Structure 1
Amino acid sequence: MIIATKLSKIFLTAAVALFSTLVVFNNLMDYQSNYLYVQHVMSMDTTGNHAQAEWRAIHDPMVWKIAYSLIIAVEAIITLLCWTGVACMFFNLHGENFHESKCLALLGLTLGIMLWFLAFMGISGEWFLAWQSRSWSGIQPGFRVATLFFLTLLYLSQEER
């Protein structure tokens, strides 16, 4: 039973790592698609609330590119932490240090929650009012990813008995 639990934790972390890998890949290979998301969210041009919140909008393409690059960089770090965590857990599958070997995966999952919760739900959704946009709201995808990462984090952090 303990080996099955450990393997399930490795496989779930590998699923998160693969998901993150695909996100980074897509953001690099199809840069423009999600760059447009950043542009529209930060410029607040689809919220329909220009009078009250226009002062929050950012209209500088350089800031959009920096923000998008930072998002991709954080996603890449999440990917590296999770894949490295998978390797550490795998190599400690039969050892006494399995619980301690989860450290990097836990950090990757935490960073993922921070990104998708804070950046997409908090900053994008609330500061830039993306919840008012019908076409450029990342709140639901952000919620789904943050929730899945959080559930995986809860399960992974439990000690095996």
Structure 2
Amino acid sequence: MTTTRHSLRSLPLAATVLTGILALYIALVALGNITDFGSNQQFVRHVLAMDTTFKDDDLMWRAITNTGVQDAAYVAIIVWETVAALVLLYATWLWIRRDHAPARRMTTYGTLMLMLLFGAGFLAIGGEWFAMWQSEDWNGLDAATRVFLVSGVVLIVAQLTPGDADASRRP
């Protein structure tokens, strides 16, 4: 019983630290994409154009070669990353304030935003639809998998943390 109580008391600390780390990470990713726009712009352009894949005729009809559409997709990614970073930073602040129920909710929103971007966006759409897995030069599947899994761990820890006011404010 004592071990269980101790574990429950340490979960909010774990959720705070993990949410903060994820917030810092995605904030730095977004900042990097904003301040060094061209680096990952090329990544998005090559993935969408499918110009470094096996160029199978059965798949190439999926390619998007219009640079305006490619750049719009990249800007949408940056905006999504920025909003996710802000949500997770706010969640971290709520964890620090020991406002556990709203902190858990905001952590859930932020982690799900990242899981949608990196899971649905990069793994499914980029990796499979645009055959990113075929590219030796422009393959972001390992990085996307890392972010997806880390986000999932943070989500699980946040969900395990008690969210009611009485449990969250105990010494």
Do Structure 1 and Structure 2 share a fold, with TM-score over 0.5?
A: yes
Give the superposition deviation at 1:48. 1.9
Is 1:137 the equivalent of 2:146? no
Give the superposition deviation at 1:155. 1.1
TM-score (structure 2 length as normaliser): 0.87
Deviates more, 1:43-52 or 1:18-27: 43-52
1:73, 1:136 → 2: CA distance? 21
In structure 1, what is the equivalent of residue 48 of structure 2? 42
Amino acid in the other structure paired with 1:104: M
Matches within 5 A, 1:8-47: 8-47=14-53
Amino acid in the other structure paired with 2:122: F
In structure 1, what is the equivalent of residue 127 of structure 2? 125
Deviations 1:79-120 (A, max 9, x none): 0110011111221x2xxx523432111100011011001111
Q: Identity rate of aligned residues, in percent?
A: 29
Give RMSD over aligned pairs: 1.4
TM-score (structure 1 length as normaliser): 0.92
Give the SS at the match of 1:135.
coil
- Residues 14 and 157 in structure 2, CA contact (< 8 A), matched pair in contact too: no
In structure 2, what is the equivalent of residue 75 of structure 1? 81
> Aligned residues, how many?
157
Deviations 1:14-65 (A, max 9, x none): 0000001100011011111100010000000000224221210111010011
Is 1:112 the equivalent of 2:114? yes
1:138, 1:52 → 2: CA distance? 23
In structure 2, what is the equivalent of residue 148 of structure 1? 150
Matches within 5 A, 1:60-99: 60-91=66-97, 93=98, 98-99=100-101
Deviations 1:125-146 (A, max 9, x none): 0000010101111111111110
1:21, 1:128 → 2: CA distance? 26
Residues 1:27 and 1:40: Cα distance change in structure 2 (over 3 Å): same
5+ residue gaps, structure 1:
none
2:140, 2:92 → 1: CA distance? 28
